[in-house]
Copies of this chain bind each other. A is one copy, B any other.
Amino acid sequence: MSLLVVGSIALDSVDTLHESRDDLLGGSAVYFSYAASYFTAVRLVGVVGEDWPSEHTALLRSRQIDTDGLQVIPGGETFRWRGKYLPNMNDRETLEVQLNVLGDFEPKLPDAFRRCPFVFLANGSPAMQRKVLDQCIGPRLVVADTMDLWIREEQADLMELLARIDGLVLNDSEARLLTGEENLVIAGSKVRQFGPKFVVIKKGEHGAMFFSEFETYVLPAYPTAQVVDPTGAGDSFAGGMMGYLTERDNYDPDTLKRAMAYGILTASFTVEDFSLDRLRRIERKDLELRMDKYRRMLSFEAT
């Protein structure tokens, strides 16, 4: 099985209370791919400029990530994002965005990528996401992310997209914005009525909620004392989740719940250092160890 992801590739600058870092490897498709690579082969589609360090491509290739869909634009510059985290490490401010080559990104799937059964449309304009879908041949499971910008400014396009996908992943404030509903249990159900068979609401340090026709549940985040840089946590969550679904070649309710848990645990590693630095130091067995702890944490006998 393999998993296709189309999304942003970035050079990030991150300010936290304790430390600032520039020119970090980042972007939704990068975090997603690396997280998913613990579980499955990944096919990455995205765009970078001539300033893109070739060692970043080499790093992705060193995992099971196929970068044949990486467009390098001659004379172009890579998308850049600069953000600052508030002391609570959950809220952040975007200080600067340079779209650069991402502004004109025309996703083009290599022929070999078009029949990927599992597809993730990382954050991007709904119009761009639909162009990806148009190139996919018979995908089994299509899941998308979105953001406040598209909810506010491209709502009609977004609604068309929602009617075509199987799952939507979005964060709590986006779910509230999209539905006008403060209660997340209600908001999640309302999002599902726009089309997706399932909806995942990410709550940052508070975990994630799942909604389908059959069930509504919430799983907490894995408690970590070491939150260094939350950038990419949401994309790592999606990568862990979709990676596991692809590995199992299945998305029944039990598999989806385990996938949610793997997503949460993959993200719990991501936040423990800048960029991919923490993920680079772990192996699949570290995810499994944390999974054992997480399952024990959430289990108790009835009396």
Q: Which residues of A contact B (CB under 8 A)?
A: 87-89, 182-186, 189, 203, 205-207, 209, 216-221, 223-225, 227, 248, 254, 257-258, 261, 291-292, 295, 297-303
Do A300 and B183 touch across chains, with their CB atoms under 8 A apart? no
Q: How distant is the Cα of A203 from the Cα of B87 in the complex, in angstroms?
A: 18
Do A185 and B223 touch across chains, with their CB atoms under 8 A apart? yes
Contacts of A189 in B (CB 8 A): 225
Interchain CB contact (< 8 A) of A258 among B182, B183, B219, B303:
B303
Do B209 and A206 touch across chains, with their CB atoms under 8 A apart? no
Do A220 and B223 touch across chains, with their CB atoms under 8 A apart? no
If A254-B301, A302-B291, A302-B295 touch, does A223 touch B227 (CB 8 Å cutoff)? no
Q: How distant is the Cα of A221 from the Cα of B56 in the complex, in angstroms?
A: 41
Do A303 and B217 touch across chains, with their CB atoms under 8 A apart? no
Do B220 and A89 touch across chains, with their CB atoms under 8 A apart? no
Do B300 and A254 touch across chains, with their CB atoms under 8 A apart? yes
Do A88 and B182 touch across chains, with their CB atoms under 8 A apart? yes
Contacts of A300 in B (CB 8 A): 254, 257-258, 261, 295
Contacts A217-B223, A220-B220, A295-B302 supplied; 16 other A-B pairs, CB < 8 Å = A88-B182, A89-B182, A184-B205, A184-B223, A206-B206, A206-B207, A207-B220, A209-B223, A216-B223, A218-B220, A218-B297, A219-B298, A257-B300, A258-B300, A258-B303, A298-B298
Q: Measured between C-beta atoms, what is the minimum distance from A266 to chain B in Å?
A: 16
Q: How distant is the Cα of A73 from the Cα of B236 in the complex, in angstroms?
A: 60
Q: How distant is the Cα of A295 from the Cα of B295 in the complex, in angstroms?
A: 12
With both beta carbons as reference points, the residue of chain B lying nearest to A292 in the complex is identified as: B302
Contacts of A223 in B (CB 8 A): 184-185, 209, 216-218
Do B227 and A183 touch across chains, with their CB atoms under 8 A apart? yes
Q: How distant is the Cα of A223 from the Cα of B186 in the complex, in angstroms?
A: 10
Interchain CB contact (< 8 A) of A220 among B88, B183, B219:
B219
With both beta carbons as reference points, the residue of chain B lying nearest to A257 in the complex is identified as: B300
Q: How distant is the Cα of A257 from the Cα of B182 in the complex, in angstroms?
A: 30
Q: Measured between C-beta atoms, what is the minimum distance from A226 to chain B in Å?
A: 8
Contacts of A221 in B (CB 8 A): 218
Do A299 and B302 touch across chains, with their CB atoms under 8 A apart? no
Q: Measured between C-beta atoms, what is the minimum distance from A300 to chain B in Å?
A: 5
Interchain CB contact (< 8 A) of A217 among B184, B297, B301:
B297
Contacts of A207 in B (CB 8 A): 206, 220
**Max chain B Cβ within 10 angstroms of own Cβ: one of A182, A189, A207:** A182
Do A185 and B225 touch across chains, with their CB atoms under 8 A apart? yes
Q: How distant is the Cα of A256 from the Cα of B70 in the complex, in angstroms?
A: 52
**Max chain B Cβ within 10 angstroms of own Cβ: one of A88, A223, A254, A295:** A223
Do A299 and B301 touch across chains, with their CB atoms under 8 A apart? no
Q: Measured between C-beta atoms, what is the minimum distance from A281 to chain B in Å?
A: 20
With both beta carbons as reference points, the residue of chain B lying nearest to A259 in the complex is identified as: B300
